[in-house]
Amino acid sequence: MSKIQLILADDHTILRDGLKNLILTEPGYDIIAEAEDGLQAIELTTKYRPSLLILDLNMPRKNGIEVIKHLRGAGIPVKILVLSMFDDQKSIIDAYTAGANGYLNKMASMDEFFQALQTILAGNQYVNEMASNALLNTLRKAPGGPEGKAVLKGVILTSRETEILGLIADGLTSQEIAEKLFISYFTVSKHRKNILKKLKLKNTAELVNYAIRHGIRPD
């Protein structure tokens, strides 16, 4: 079985070495390159196309947000986990808005770190309590209309569709959503297709990013 290829981007060698040693204690991961500044992170990610980029925010030449924006703008399909000492709302919001798949403080536990890796590599957005609170406090809730509908950039979603969109953003699968809402898997799938069609989006990743940008989270 081939290993999951990762790139580490942090301007502090000691922290980078420590993280590398931590990751390599677990089977299935391979550190294929290391970057000590933002520009190098862009160059190495573009060249090697890893599965995941673990990215610091505060780096020379280009900061982490600039790196994310560049990679997303270039269409590089890499998953990005921000690992930073900053835990302020602005940094978290900026990272997710730019296109990060997860945000974790460097003081997080080893268990949470690997949980974040696994969640992101499985194709889901990793949003822990810290990030969730920042998103909820900063991004506005979609306004509900008199018929229990939400208007998002001119698109009308029913209250059920808005609820399901929030659960998708929270990382739940269609089966988990069905069990939580006491409806069938096929009903959830139908709602998911309707939401994609209404919002003119292509996949779950785009749904998650849309929900986060608009502050749609489960109540």
Q: Where along the chain do the CATH 3.40.50.2300 domains lie?
A: 4-130
Whether residue 162 contacts residue 142, with contact meaning beta carbons closer than 8 Å, is answered with: yes
Q: What is the pLDDT of residue 145?
A: 36
Q: How far apart are CA 109 and CA 115, in angstroms?
A: 10
pLDDT at 46 exceeding the cut of 90: yes
- Region 101-114: mean pLDDT is 88
For residue 144, give the DSSP letter.
Answer: B
Would the pTM of this model clear 0.75, i.e. be above it? no
For 181-219, b/e burial (b = at least 16 CB within 10 A) is: beeeeeebeebbeebbeebeeeebbebbbbbbbbbbbee
Report pLDDT digits (tens) over 158-215: 778 888 888 887 778 888 888 888 888 888 888 888 888 888 888 777 777 777 766 6
Give CATH 1.10.10.10 domain extents, the chain: 149-213
Helix (H) or strand (E) holding 80: strand 79-84
The CATH homologous superfamily to which domain 4-130 belongs is Response regulator (3.40.50.2300)
Domain 149-213, CATH among 3.30.200.20, 3.30.1330.20, 1.10.10.10, 3.40.50.11900: 1.10.10.10
117-154 confidence digits (pLDDT tens) = 988 898 888 877 667 666 555 544 444 433 344 445 45
Q: What is the pLDDT of residue 133?
A: 62
Instruction: Compute the average pLDDT of residues 106-115.
Output: 87
* % of the chain beyond a pLDDT of 70: 84
- Name the burial class of residue 9, with classes exposed (0-12), middle (13-18) and buried (19+) by CB atoms within 10 angstroms of its CB: buried
CA separation for the pair 73, 163 (Å, rounded): 30
Q: Residue 21 belongs to what H/E stretch?
A: helix 13-23
Q: Which amino acid would we find at residue 3?
A: K
